Amino acid sequence: MPVEWIDAQPEGHWLLCGRVLDRPFPETVLLAEGGHRIQVNGACTASLAPGDLVRLRAVVDHDPADLFLPVDRAFPVYLAFEAQSLHRPTRSPFARGSETFRFGHDGVRNRLALRHHASDRVRAYFRAQRFLEVETPAIVTCPGLDVHLSAFGVLGHMHPTPSGLPTPYGFLITSPELHMKRLLVGGVNHCFQLARCFRAGEVGRRHQPEFTMVEWYRAWAGLDDVLADTEHLVRAVAEAGPTPGLIRLGDNEISVEEEFAQMTVREAFARWAPDVADPIALAAFDEHEYFRRFSQDVEPGLGFDRPTFLTHFPSVHASLARRFDDDPSVCLRAELYIAGVELCNAFDELTDPGEQRARFEEDQQRRAEMGLPVYPIDEDFLAALEEGMPPAAGNALGLDRLVALVAGRESINDVIAFPHRRG
């Protein structure tokens, strides 16, 4: 039933609580209650005004079946004999820009429910696979060194120091990667978390400065294993959506039921940017041009026939992924695309402490050249690699993007209760 039932009510009586949407007739109000719309009649409702938060004592007057109303308009009609307005708004809750408007009229509430079901299904999948759900620090001293990520700084005690400013304390994580890999070294072989990650300066249809990452690692496993996990997760979340088994974005419909496709970066450029003779060489030689062509020509074509894993990325963008032994110009990294939307980034993890240190130092040097803050190298992480990290694969999947796709929305802002805005 769309109403809250209080035991103390005499039998047959209902306590209706909600907001008055409209008063179409002097003794009739339309009430919004928990996403439902109900009609209440009764002389006592005459003093209520649209927008009021109200409490009504009522009985079911008639059942929709008695009225022969079409199903989509069927709701019981109540007869109220006592009405109380708890709050009369001093500003309109129905104006655009109001929270009531946003959650009540734009379908945001339904999409927040979809989010809830999505994280439920993600957890259910990993529990069934015997993963441990973990939590790792959100405030760190060494945020990722990736040259194209920018971390938020965190201030310590707000008591001013002699300089008049609070002391810097650390940074918010851009990804929980390094800590989760340390868990692998410690013998936690299968772990996952739904981590809030923070990246400064990223606001757009598919970017938010804080967002939720589903991140997981499998020790003694390879890239294919985490890509298989990804397929299961996407299917499980799509089942909770309005079009089970299907992702519908604009005019595109993509089934997630069949096996996902795979395509290498070279193959993708050959198909959508054939004038680029060697994308792997281009990435090393002119990174900006590579990403320009990638964003403009390749990405908008990916994942429309069926979900597609892009593989064999240039090693200059290997980050923390292993390079192929037989072709070190490319690495064991994969991204999933559905309808041109990048959903995840998977690595066959680099476990060699020497190579990892060299890559960190190179990133530091590039950051210095670009005039970016140079964060320290995470020595605890490197020490863990020296102790020995088992061969492993991991993946990081943007939950907001997946939920937005399943909801058929272009922008992740539509599935976030309070998104950050530009400017």
Binding site residues, another protein, CB under 8 A: 21-22, 24-25, 28, 30, 37, 39, 50, 67, 73, 92, 94-96, 146, 148, 201-207, 287-288, 291-292, 294-296, 299, 317, 319, 335, 342, 345, 422-423
Smallest gap from residue 299 Cβ to another protein (A): 6
Residue 222 or 340: which CB sits closer to another protein?
Answer: 340
Degrees to nearest 5, angle at CA 207 with 206 and 211: 115
Shortest reach from residue 220's CB to another protein, in Å: 26
Toward another protein, which CB reaches closer, 19 or 190?
19
- What is the pairing mode between strands 139-140 and 190-198? unpaired
- 349: DSSP letter: B
Report, in Å, the least distance between residue 189 CB and another protein: 26
Q: How far is the CB of 305 from another protein (least distance, A)?
A: 20
Identify the sign of the CA torsion 285, 338, 348, 131.
positive
Between 157 and 422, CB nearer to another protein: 422
376 CB-contact burial (10 Å; exposed 0-12 / middle 13-18 / buried 19+): exposed
Tell me how far apart the alpha carbons of residues 89 and 76 are, in angstroms, rounded to a whole number. 27
Burial of 168 (0-12, 13-18, 19+ CB in 10 A): exposed
By beta-carbon proximity to another protein, the closer residue of 227 and 240 is: 227
Least Å from the CB of residue 192 to another protein = 20
In this structure, the chain runs to a length of 423
Q: Of 95 and 165, which CB lies nearer to another protein in the complex structure?
A: 95
Smallest separation (angstroms) from another protein to the CB of 313:
8
Which residue's CB is nearer to another protein, number 131 or number 375?
375
User: What's the order of all strands across the beta sheet hosting 153-155?
Assistant: 139-140, 168-172, 153-155
Instruction: Report whether 314 contacts 330 (CB < 8 A).
Output: yes
